[in-house]
């Protein structure tokens, strides 16, 4: 372990950091469906990192909490007291998810070298998004806020927690997102095959890793909605009873509404060249309200149209911004959207020449790639290694990410 990292980590971590070490990664994404937790064993030097997932689980948010978070993220009026309370409530749930994944793997929490917690984003607006979308709320300074108090996770588990990963990249002039591309690069790069990693979370994001590339040649951006439009439609039309279209089965019973689909494909975001990122501001409630309400159509048809749009947006992003630069050999897909069979088969129809594979094939269970990524990023932080890719986030330089909440001191 480099001297600088040792000083940084102080007595917070044990010598296990040099060889095999156990780490937990925690995240709840923009879908706000629940907390993904993964316990991994890391080994090897950072550039030839080996990862093995020992246990992983999703702890769904209690329904009421989820609705509070969704309301807050949608920009509804809140107060600092509510944000403060939610930070502690969510922190408590993140701690429980960490303890549960340790139990599942039969690993005592004190054996962990580190926990990397992304937290729950409740607001994110980088410089770029601010310039292009405006916040509509009179906000002018780029900022980001992830909640889920790391001190609570550290106290409950006795383990050192790295959290607030996005802020250092933004302080160095970056967008603060996406951060997973470095991990995609470390784990999916290939000497002779160009790879695109696609995560179908609330938003669909892409990491492009040219064959044999240096980190500088990696780029990544958001293609459009992942599950967000489908989920929002589902929640609205069932008055909150259902929050996603399981397996894409309801959409599969419907038909694409041609005129609506054409109108949706004209949404300016899809044409705008990268770097670009999207969130609820682009594809949340207001998007669904604007385009889908007032349509006299069955829910199945609306869902089918939303599913078609989601697959189209990924294919369109590749056609416009990636294929002109390189031949893509494989598309490695992860995120909850992989369970939507209609979405995946539509994507295959749009991209007949690309091999579409699940990330599981590369030792990254599709539902947990992002959780695993934050375990790895936390490990890098303790080693004094940067976690951002300036070519992707626009930061002025590579920076060590995160803030550390110490665990219990050694007895």
Judge contact between 261 and 309, C-beta under 8 A. yes
Environment class of residue 10 by beta-carbon count within 10 Å: exposed (0-12), middle (13-18) or buried (19+)? Answer: exposed
Binding to ligand ADP by residue 139, rule CB under 6 A? no
Query: Would you count residue 2 as binding ligand ADP (CB under 6 A)?
Result: no
339 touching ligand ADP, by CB under 6 A: yes
Assess 121 for contact with Mg ion (CB under 5 A): no
Q: How far apart are CA 39 and CA 353, in angstroms?
A: 35
222 near ligand ADP, rule: CB under 6 A: no
379 binds, among Mg ion, ligand ADP, none (CB under 5 to 8 A by kind): none
Residue 232: Cβ-neighbour burial (10 angstroms; 0-12, 13-18, 19+): buried
| Closest to 123 (Cα-Cα) out of 184, 179, 78 | 78
Among 62, 212, 240, 247, binds ligand ADP (CB under 6 A): 247
Cβ pair 277, 166 in contact under 8 A: no
Query: What is the Cα–Cα distance from 260 to 220, expressed in whole angstroms?
Result: 29
Instruction: Select from 169, 124, 164 the least CA-distant residue to 30.
Output: 124
Q: How many residues bind ligand ADP (CB under 6 A)?
A: 20
| CA distances from residue 287 to 240, 271, 279 in whole angstroms, order as listed | 18, 17, 11
- Binding partner selected for residue 398 from Mg ion, ligand ADP, none, CB under the kind-specific 5 to 8 Å limit: none
Applying CB under 6 A, does 29 fall inside the site for ligand ADP?
yes
Among 220, 336, 386, 390, binds ligand ADP (CB under 6 A): 336
- Token output for 183: 């991990």
> Interface residues for ligand ADP in 176-205 (CB under 6 A)?
201-202
Stretch that binds ligand ADP, among 41-49, 113-121, 254-262, 331-339 (CB under 6 A): 331-339
Judged by CB under 6 A, does residue 119 bind ligand ADP?
no
How far apart are CB 305 and ligand ADP at their closest, in Å? 16
Q: Does 31 bind Mg ion (CB under 5 A)?
A: yes
- Per the listing, tokens 């702890």 go with 59
For binding to ligand ADP (CB under 6 A), which residues are involved? 28-31, 33, 201-202, 227, 231, 244-248, 335-337, 339-340, 370
């Amino acid at each position: 372990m480099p001297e600088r990292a040792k000083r940084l980590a102080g007595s917070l971590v044990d010598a296990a950091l040099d060889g095999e070490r156990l780490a937990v990664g925690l995240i709840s994404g923009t879908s706000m469906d629940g907390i993904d937790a993964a316990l991994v064993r890391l080994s090897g030097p950072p550039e030839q990192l080996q990862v093995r997932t020992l246990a992983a689980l999703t702890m769904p948010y209690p329904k009421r909490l989820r609705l509070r978070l969704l309301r807050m993220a949608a920009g509804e009026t809140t107060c600092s007291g509510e944000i403060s309370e939610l930070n502690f409530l969510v922190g408590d749930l993140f701690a429980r998810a960490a303890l549960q994944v340790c139990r599942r793997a039969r690993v005592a929490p004190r054996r962990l070298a580190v926990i990397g917690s992304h937290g729950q984003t409740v607001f994110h607006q980088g410089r770029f998004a601010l310039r292009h979308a405006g916040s509509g709320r009179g906000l002018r300074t780029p900022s980001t806020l992830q909640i889920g108090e790391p001190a609570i996770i550290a106290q409950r588990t006795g383990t050192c927690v790295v959290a607030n990963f996005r802020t250092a990249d933004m302080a160095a002039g970056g967008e603060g997102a996406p951060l997973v591309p470095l991990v995609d690069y470390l784990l999916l790069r290939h000497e002779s095959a160009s790879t695109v990693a696609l995560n179908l979370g609330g938003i669909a994001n892409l990491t492009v890793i040219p064959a044999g590339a240096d980190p500088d040649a990696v780029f990544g951006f958001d293609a459009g909605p992942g599950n967000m439009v489908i989920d929002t439609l589902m929640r609205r039309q069932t008055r909150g009873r259902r929050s996603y279209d399981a397996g894409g089965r309801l959409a599969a019973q419907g038909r694409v509404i041609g005129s609506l689909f054409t109108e949706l494909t004209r949404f300016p975001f899809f044409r705008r060249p990268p770097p670009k990122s999207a969130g609820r501001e682009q594809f949340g409630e207001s998007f669904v309200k604007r385009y889908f309400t007032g349509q006299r159509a069955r829910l199945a048809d609306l869902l089918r149209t939303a599913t078609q749009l989601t697959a189209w947006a990924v294919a369109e992003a590749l056609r416009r911004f990636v294929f002109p630069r390189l031949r893509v050999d494989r598309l490695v897909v992860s995120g909850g959207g992989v369970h939507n069979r209609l979405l995946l088969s539509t994507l295959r129809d749009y991209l007949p020449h690309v091999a579409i594979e699940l990330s599981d094939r590369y030792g990254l269970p599709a539902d947990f790639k992002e959780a695993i990524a934050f375990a790895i990023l936390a490990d890098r932080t303790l080693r004094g290694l940067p976690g951002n890719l300036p070519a992707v986030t626009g930061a002025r330089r590579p920076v060590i990410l995160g803030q550390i909440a110490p665990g219990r001191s050694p007895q």
